[in-house]
A and B are shown apart, each in its own frame.
Chain A
Amino acid sequence: MGCGHRSHFMTIEARNLSFRYGDKPVLKEVSFVLTSGGFHALLGPNGAGKSTLFGLLTRLLALQQGDVLMAGQSLKKQPAEAMRKIGVVFQQNALDLDLTVRQNLLYHAALHGLSRKEARLRGDRELTRFQLLERANEPVRKLNGGHRRRVEIARALLHEPSLLLLDEPTVGLDVASRRGLNDHVRTLCESDGLTVLWATHLIEEVRPQDRVLILHEGKLLADGTGHDICEAEGTRDLAETFHTLTGAG
C-alpha cells in the first residue's frame, strides 16, 4: 500500500506560539515537536484554540509570536518551502460539490504547480489507494460524507506532503465512518511514514499509544503518549485525564 516516493521523516516543531484576536489571547506560548511518522492527537474542547493553531500551521493566520519549523525550515521566513510539506484537511468541506472527484483533485494539483499529466497520475494513484477510483468521474455531491472526507485526504496527499493536518475531520460523520477514517489515516502513518496531527474533541478517536497534545484555553496542558499522561495525572484513562485537566468531557 505504500506509495514509496514521499519525502518523509522530518521533524515539525512549533516554538512558543502565541496568538490573540484583538485583546483576546487565544494561544499562549504553545510549543511542541511532532515525531516523524507518528499519529498525534490534538485534543481540546470547543474553543480551546485548536482551529487557531491549525490556522497558524497552515498560514491562514499570520504568525504573531513564535515560529513553526518544518524540517528546519521556518514558516515565517520560508513559507513556500514549508507549505509544500503540508497537506491539510479542513473542518468544513473544502470540495467543489458540483465538480467531479477528479476535477477537484486536478485543481489542487495545479495549485501546487503539477502538470495535468502528473496530476492525473497521482490522482488516480491516490484514488486507487482510497478505493474511490471508480467514482472519479462522479460529482462530489453524489458521495456520502465519509467518502467526501476520503477524497479530501486523497487530495491533501497529492503533492506528497510529509505532514498531514486534519482539523476535526470526523465532524458530521456517523460512528462507522468516523472509525473507518481514523483507521485509514493511521495506516497512512504506518505505510507512508506520514506525520499526522489529528485535531479532535472526541476521546474515542485517540488510542493509549498515541502522542496526545491536550489544549485548553490556549495553553498546552499535556504532551505525551496517552498512557504516560494518564500515569502522570494518576488517572485511569484518557477521558478522566481530559476531564481533570479541562473540566470537559
Chain B
Amino acid sequence: MKAAHYWHCFIGIQTREWLRFWQQRTRFASALVRPLLWLVVFAAGFRAVLGISIIPPYQTYITYETYIAPGLCGMIILFNSMQGALSMVYDRELGSMRVLLMSPLPRPLLLVTKLLAMGVVSVGQVYVFLLLALLVDVEPPLWGYLAVLPALVLTSLMLGALGLLIATWIKQLENFAGVMNFVIFPMFFMSSALYPLWRMNEASPWLYWICQFNPFTHAVEAIRFSLYLEWNPMAFGITAAVTVVFALLATTGFRPQRTKILGTSKPA
C-alpha cells in the first residue's frame, strides 16, 4: 500500500463524515441546545453562588459563563464521542463500519481515521458553540480560537477512543442511557468543567483526587489554557498520553464479534 492509498482513504472517511453531518444538520444543531442551556441558564443561576477568584489562565476576575465555556466545549465532544462510538458498533453506523472493515488497509489505522473524522465534526460544533457564547460575553482572545484547535482535536480523539473501548468491551453499556449515567455524567461532574478544583479540594479532598485522575479534567484544562493563549504542558501531556493509550487499546483490541457489526449479536 502506498502513502497515496492512505491519503485517499483518509479523505474518503472525512468526506463521508461531513456529508452525513450535512444530511443531519438539524440533529447536530439540536445537540447544541444542551451546552447552550448550561451556558445561559445554569451559569446565570449559579453566577451568584459560585464566586470565581483569579486563577490561571485568566488574568482578571471572570464571569461564571467564561469559566464553564471550556468545560462545555469538552462536554460537546464528550457527548458526541460517546454517541458516535456507540453508533459505530450498535446502530446507525453499522453498515458503514462493515464497509470500513472490508478495506485492505490496516484496521487500527482505519479506526483511528474514523474516530478522527467524527472528532473533527465535533470540533466544528464546538466552534459554533464558541461563536454563540460571544452573545453572553465569553470573549477569548481572537488567536485563542486557533490555538485551541489542537486541544479540541486531541480531546475528541481521546474521548472517541474511550467510547470505542467502552462500546466494544462493556456489554452492559450498549445503550446511551447507561453510558450517560456511568461514563458521561461522572466524567463531566468529576472534572474541572464546572468548578475549579481548588474548590473541590476544600469540599472533599478525595473527590479532588478523583477529579485529578480523570483525564477529562486535563482535556478541559488543555482547552481552557490554549483558548486563552496560555501553555499548560501538564494538561496537554496527560491528555496526549491518555489519547495514545486509549487509541492503542481501542483499535488493537477491537473485535467485530463483540459488536453488532457482524449482523447479529453473538456471544463473544
CB pair A61–B256 under 8 Å, yes or no, is yes
Residues B11-65 near A (CB distance < 8 A): 11-13, 15-16, 19-20, 23-24
**Closest beta carbon of chain A to B8's beta carbon, Å:** 5
The answer for the CA separation of A93 and B263 in the assembled complex, in Å, is 10
Residues B64-121 near A (CB distance < 8 A): 94-96, 98-106, 110
> Among B8, B103, B263, B268, which residue has its beta carbon within 8 angstroms of that of A83?
B103
| Number of residue pairs A-B, CB distance < 8 angstroms | 112
CB pair A99–B257 under 8 Å, yes or no, is no
Among B8, B15, B98, B102: residue with most chain A CB under 10 A: B102
A60 interface contact, C-beta 8 A: yes
> Among B24, B94, B256, which residue has its beta carbon within 8 angstroms of that of A98?
B24
Mask, A49-83, CB within 8 Å of B = 1, is 00100010011111000000000000000011101
- Chain B residues contacting A62 (CB-CB under 8 Å) are 255
> Among A21, A111, A113, which residue has its beta carbon within 8 angstroms of that of B4?
A113
CB pair B4–A60 under 8 Å, yes or no, is no
Q: How large is the interface on A (under 10, 10 to 19, 20 to 34, 35 or more residues)?
A: 35 or more
The answer for the CA separation of A55 and B2 in the assembled complex, in Å, is 27
CB pair A112–B256 under 8 Å, yes or no, is no
- Chain B residues contacting A58 (CB-CB under 8 Å) are 101-102
- Chain A residues contacting B99 (CB-CB under 8 Å) are 94, 107-108, 111, 155
Known A-B contacts A110-B8, A111-B103; the reply to A96 vs B264 at CB < 8 A is no
Q: How many residues of B contact A (CB 8 A)?
A: 39
- Chain B residues contacting A90 (CB-CB under 8 Å) are 95, 98, 263
- Chain B residues contacting A110 (CB-CB under 8 Å) are 8-9, 11-13, 15
CB pair A84–B104 under 8 Å, yes or no, is yes
A197 interface contact, C-beta 8 A: no
Residues A31-64 near B (CB distance < 8 A): 51, 55, 58-62
Give the residue name and chain of the B residue nearest to A99 (CB). B19
A238 interface contact, C-beta 8 A: no
The answer for the CA separation of A92 and B98 in the assembled complex, in Å, is 10
**Closest beta carbon of chain B to A152's beta carbon, Å:** 10
CB pair A88–B256 under 8 Å, yes or no, is no
- Chain B residues contacting A22 (CB-CB under 8 Å) are 267-268
CB pair A60–B256 under 8 Å, yes or no, is yes
A115 interface contact, C-beta 8 A: yes
Could you show 9 A-B contacts with beta carbons less than 8 Å apart? A21-B257, A21-B267, A60-B261, A61-B256, A93-B95, A98-B24, A112-B9, A112-B104, A113-B6
